[in-house]
Amino acid sequence: MTHNDRSQGDMRSWPAPPKRQSRIAVTEPGATYDADVVIYRLEEAGATLLAIPGSGWSTRLRTSSLEIVRTALESYGWTTSTIRPPVPSAEKITRMDEAMSWLPLIPTDRYVLRRVVGARSLVHPITDRHLFPWRRLGAALGADHKAVQRWHAQGIDMIVAGLNAAARRPASRTTGS
C-alpha cells in the first residue's frame, strides 16, 4: 500500500485540544467581578506562567557534535521531540502578573486555600488540562476531593469579594466629597 492509496479514514487523526474562549479583561474601574471571570483569568495566568521558557539565552560556550554519519533512527525522525508552547506576548505576561497578584487577597492564615487556588490555576498551555486534578490535590493535602473543591470555591469567593470591594472603593471616595 503506497501513501497515495491511503484514504483519510486510514490515517490516524488526533483531535485538537479545546481552545479557551477569549473573554474581555474586566480591569475597568468600577467593573464587577464574578467567580467565572476570576477562574478564567487565573487559569489563563497559569497557562502563561507555564509557557514562559525556563531558561533564556546564556553566555555559556555552546558546543555541538558534528556527526557526519548518523544512525538510521536519527535520520528518519524517530527521535523524541517535545512540543513547546509559544512564548507568551508581553500583554499576556502583564495579564498574568495582574491575575497572580489577586492571590494575596486570600488571607495569610488561610494558606491552604491559597495553595489550592494557586495549584488549580496551573493549566498546561498546550493541552488545557489542569496539572493538579481535584483528586491529586486531595491526596496531597490528605483530604477528600470534594473538600478541596469547596476550599477552591471559598478561595475564589474571597478573591471576588476583595476585587469587588476594591472596585467600589474609588467610586465611593469621589461621591463622598
Encode pLDDT of 156-175 as tens digits. Answer: 999 999 999 888 775 545 45
In a domain? residue 35? no
- Report the alpha-carbon distance of residue 175 to residue 177 in Å, rounded: 6
Tell me if 8 is assigned to some domain: no
pLDDT at res. 54: 78
Residue 94 lies in a domain: yes
- Could you give the number of structural domains in the chain? 1
Query: What span, in angstroms and rounded, lies between the C-alpha atoms of 139 and 112?
Result: 14
Question: Is 37 part of any domain?
Answer: no
Reported as a single tens digit per residue, the pLDDT across 48-67 is 999 998 776 666 655 555 45
Q: Domain containing 111: what range?
A: 42-51+69-177
Q: What are phi and psi of 130, to 5 degrees?
A: -70, 135
C-alpha dihedral (150, 155, 156, 158), degrees to nearest 10 = 130
Residue 114 half-sphere exposure toward CB, CA atoms < 13 A: 12
User: What is the pTM for the complete model shown?
Assistant: 0.70
**Mind listing the pLDDT tens digit for each residue in 116-145?**
999 999 999 999 999 999 999 999 999 999
**Is 128 or 75 the better-scoring residue by pLDDT?**
128
Task: Return the C-alpha cell found at 77.
Answer: 525522525
Which grid coordinates belong to 68? 557526519
Q: Is 102 part of a structural domain of the chain?
A: yes
The DSSP 8-state label assigned to residue 102 in this structure reads: T
Instruction: Give the separation between CA 151 and CA 137, rounded to whole angstroms.
Output: 11
For residue 118, tell me if it sits in a domain: yes
Whether residue 138 contacts residue 147, with contact meaning beta carbons closer than 8 Å, is answered with yes
Structural domain contains residue 148 = yes
Residue 98 cell numbers, joined: 495582574
In a domain, residue 91? The reply is: yes
